[in-house]
Amino acid sequence: MKIKVINPNTTLEMTSSIEHAAKHMARPDTEIIAVSPKMGPISIESYYDEYLSIPGVLEEIKAGEEEGVDAFVIACWGDPGLHAARELTDKPVIGIAEASLYLASMLGARFSVVTVLPRIKTMLEELVDSYGMSKKVVNIRTTPLCVIDFENDPVRGMEMLRQEGRRAIEEDDAEAILLGCAGMAEFADKLEEEFGVPVIDGVVAAVKFAESVVDLGKKTSKLKTYKYPEKKEYTGLLTEFAHK
């Protein structure tokens, strides 16, 4: 099985961390291909960043079709370009926010998300609502750190997650914690040990879901919503989409 994990930003150090987390939990016979697009923001912390990242994600989906990939993971907690990506392939495409929310709903009745800068809170509230999880997500807690800070200063990053995670349990009555950034993968196990509740990293959750969906032989429906795009000519960053 071959799973392509796409980090929508262009920070290769973060892609390497994502790759490590994915390979650590994937089965021995699962090949993980972790990539960053050739174009896009160095981190994603706003609507502007998110929208700029999507063309690069879609190019990697198209390339994955030629590479014989069995499933895709979009490794950003905003799931940028997820629905468009599903139009380009019949392979499973799983976002890490989607995967971690679904997994958490099987493990706890209510849970909180701990993420990066305060400005992203509204974006994530809208995302959670789009997945029908607003009643289960009791709070989205932010930290004063941006995405790259967790890569550059993991000690401080860990402490910020520890503080907000404890508050989530004590003040929100959260029964599980979701780490709302792909760059937080390395902290999940230690925090879970400290807190005594499930702490979910979306990269790992998405990879395991991808393995399961491929094992089941299921593919993305092409009946209506996720049909392949109509054949059109594109200029600029995106080339012509394949029409099947």
Kindly tell me the sign of the dihedral angle through the C-alpha atoms of 173, 99, 221, 242.
Answer: positive
Q: Name the average pLDDT for the chain.
A: 94
193 token code pair: 């040990």
**pLDDT tens per residue across span 27-62:** 999 999 999 999 999 999 999 999 999 999 999 999
80, pLDDT greater than 90: yes
If you ran DSSP here, which 8-state letter would residue 32 be given?
E
**pTM: predicted TM-score of the whole model, two decimal places:** 0.94
Residue range 179-183: mean pLDDT, rounded: 96
- Name the strands in the sheet holding 2-6, side by side, starting at the edge strand that comes first in the sequence: 31-35, 2-6, 71-74, 93-95
Tens digits of residue pLDDT in 220-243: 999 999 999 987 666 654 544 433
**pLDDT score recorded for residue 231:** 74
